Every structure is written in C-alpha cells, then in structure tokens.
C-alpha cells in the first residue's frame, strides 16, 4: 500500500547521495514525496523494475529504452545527476510521452569556469612553477622571474565549445579586454556575437588565440577532433586549458607536444580516471596537472540540490522545469560521458 505521495526514485551513482541533496533539501523533499534513494552503487535491475509502475521522477543514469519506459506509465521526468547525456536513454520516446529529460550540468559550470581562469593565469604567470623554484632555492627575482610570463590583459582568447562551461567562463574573461573567439558548430554566429564573442573556424581560433580553453563536450561525432594536425595550428607562445572531456583531443599527441614545449598546457581531465599511479603523465614536466576537480565543489553540489528540488516541485505541479538543462533528442542522443 503506497502513501499517496508521488514516488521519487534516486540512483545517484557515480555520485553519493550527499552530492545531490543537502540535508535540508532532502528533508523537505521527503515531506512532500515518497523519496527512495539507492546507495552503494547502481540500483539492481529487480529493484528498479519494482519501482517502475509508480515512479514519477527518476534521478540517475539508469538505461531506459522504449520498452522499459513503457513499464513506467506515471513517469514525468528523468534527471541525470552526473551532468551529461547518456546514449542508453530513448530521448525520442521520452519526448513522445511528454517526459522531461533533464541534466544538472549547469550546476558545475561556475566552478569549472573559475578553475579555467585560475589555470590560465597560472600558465601565463608561472605561479606554480615559481613556487616550486622558490622551494628548491632556484627562484629568480623581479623581472628575471617573469621573462617567460605574459599578461592575459588584451590577449586574444579562444573558447572551443560554448555550452554551459563557455557561457560561464565568458563573463570572467571580459575584464581582460581582449577578443574572445568561439568555435561551436552547433551555434549560429549571431548568437555568439550577442554574447560578446567573435565566431571563428577552428583553424582561425587555434592560430590566433594566445590562450585556448577546450570546453567542448564529447559526442559520437567529435571524439578526437583536436588531433595532432589541429594542435600544430597553435601559436608557438600559446597556452591550452583542457577542462571538458579528454576524448575531444588526441590525448597522446596533446601530452607529447606539450612536453616538448610546443605550447603550455593545463589538464584537468584524462582518458581514464583515476589516473594510474605509474602513468607517465605524472612525470610530465611543463604541464600543469589537476585531478578532475574543477567542478567538484561543495557549492556546486548545493546548487545541484537546489536545482533538483525546485524542478521536481515544478514538474509535480504540472509546470515545465526551469533550473536544469533540457535535453534535445536530436543532440542528446549523441552524448558520450568521456
């Protein structure tokens, strides 16, 4: 016998429950819904199937083909809490049923944008390298410690991809005053100009930008689109921040060229995570390394919780969600997680 409250089923894997709900938001949600949270790994098939007839909101990344969706007649929304689009969900079937397919990806964007700026400033000013030199007693003072540094001010910058991350980063770059070129084949030039950006081909952006931010998500169509030949377009004095997904670049070529001093590089994402303890990347001198931590902030998780709860309220009230990102079946089905 059910309580009469709408069933919200949450399988946050690979996240932990505390990453998607604050204690306060979870308590409020439990007051107005029948919240079932599966912990400790992916929900077993038998448990998922048992909940399908009554579930109204499904939080997680479980496979949902048309046949399984048909066994969930009351389903109103599927919300991906990892922040991407999975190819094992039937987006067309959801659209035909009027089921909202949403993602919390925008919650991470402000934190990732700040980290991108921090990494770019480090590459430009040698903050980390200077600290290490000082600790070794090999520091250079004043201008002699800045012979290879440059200012971001008035420099041409480039954004490869202009989704959630690019839109969050663009305002942070405005004070530096330089032109911001953007390459995003899914967006029209007029929209980019309205955002204060300069629409550009990939080659133009790579050749002209002093700092390139790689922010594109990975799809079935663009894996490895920044290959060795595209990386060779970079200026000799360029710096590159790889912050979205490692699969959009030829990672081996990227590391090889950066290690050889062809360009400066900062990396926050890798083909396989966590990186093995004996992976050669750990000894790559001249590359600024970060452990996929750009978006993983407590503030980001608190924002996920707020977005989820507010959109759940709207959907259960029969209104369209406004906080999470909505999936477009024509593009979301192309999504890949790495």
Return the pLDDT at 314: 98
pLDDT computed for residue 337 by the predictor = 58
CB 220, CB 336: distance < 8 Å: yes
3 state SS for the chain: CCCCCCEEEEECCCCCHHHCCCHHHHHHHHHHCEEEECCCCCCCHHHHHHHCCCEEEEEECCCECHHHHHCCCCCCEEEECCCCCCCCECHHHHHHHCCEEEECHHHCHHHHHHHHHHHHHHHHHCHHHHHHHHHHCCCCCHHHHCCCCCCCCCCCEEEECCCHHHHHHHHHHHHHCCCEEEECCCCCHHHHHHCCCEECCHHHHHHHCCEEEECCCCECCCCCCECHHHHCCCCCCCEEEECCCHHHECHHHHHHHHHCCCCEEEECCCCCCCCCCCCHHHHCCCEEECCCCCCCCHHHHHHHHHHHHHHHHHHHCCCCCCCCEECCHHHHCCECCC
pLDDT for the residue 54: 98
Q: Is the pTM of this model over 0.75?
A: yes
Closest to 20 in 3D by CA, of 39, 44, 46: 39
What's the confidence (pLDDT) of residue 46? 96
Stretches where the chain sits below pLDDT 70 are 1-3, 333, 335-338
In order of start, what are the domains of the chain with their CATH numbers?
7-107+298-332 (3.40.50.720), 109-289 (3.40.50.720)
Rg for the chain, CA atoms, rounded: 22
User: How far separated are the first and last CA of the chain, in Å rounded?
Assistant: 42
Is the preceding peptide bond at 143 cis, omega within 30 degrees of 0? no
Q: What is the pLDDT of residue 338?
A: 52
pLDDT at 1: 47
pLDDT at 329: 87
What pLDDT score does 330 carry? 78
- For residues 162 and 217, the answer to whether their CB atoms sit within 8 Å is no
Name the one residue in this structure whose structure tokens are 């399984």.
68
How many residues does the structure list for the chain? Answer: 338
């Amino acid at each position: 016998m059910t309580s009469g409250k709408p069933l919200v089923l949450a399988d946050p894997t690979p996240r932990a429950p505390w990453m998607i709900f604050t204690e306060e938001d979870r308590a409020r949600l439990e007051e107005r819904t029948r919240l079932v949270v599966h912990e400790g790994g992916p929900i077993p098939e038998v448990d998922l199937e048992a909940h399908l007839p009554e579930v109204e909101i499904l939080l997680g990344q479980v496979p949902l083909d048309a046949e399984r969706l048909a066994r969930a007649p009351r389903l109103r929304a599927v919300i991906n809490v990892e922040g991407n689009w999975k190819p094992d969900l039937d987006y067309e079937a959801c659209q035909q049923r009027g089921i909202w397919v949403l993602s919390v990806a925008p919650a991470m964007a402000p934190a990732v944008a700040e980290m991108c700026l921090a990494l770019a400033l480090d590459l430009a000013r040698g903050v980390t390298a200077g600290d290490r030199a000082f600790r070794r007693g090999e520091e250079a003072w004043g201008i002699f410690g800045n012979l290879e540094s440059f200012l971001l001010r008035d420099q041409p910058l480039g954004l490869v991809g202009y989704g959630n991350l690019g839109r969050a980063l663009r305002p942070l770059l405005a004070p530096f005053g330089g032109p911001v070129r953007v390459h995003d084949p899914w967006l029209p030039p007029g929209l980019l100009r309205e955002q204060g950006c300069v629409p550009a081909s990939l080659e133009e952006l790579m050749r002209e930008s002093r700092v390139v931010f790689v922010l594109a998500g990975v799809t079935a169509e663009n894996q490895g689109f920044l290959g060795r030949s595209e990386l060779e377009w970079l200026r000799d004095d360029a710096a590159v921040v790889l912050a979205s997904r490692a699969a959009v670049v030829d990672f081996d070529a990227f590391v090889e060229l950066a290690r050889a001093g062809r360009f400066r590089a900062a990396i926050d994402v890798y083909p396989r995570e966590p990186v093995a303890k004996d992976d050669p990347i750990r000894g790559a001198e001249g590359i600024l390394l970060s452990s996929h931590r750009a978006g993983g902030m407590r503030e980001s998780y608190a924002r996920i919780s707020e977005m989820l709860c507010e959109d759940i309220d709207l959907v259960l009230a029969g209104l369209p969600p406004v906080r999470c990102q909505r999936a477009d079946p024509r593009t979301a089905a192309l999504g890949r997680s790495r």
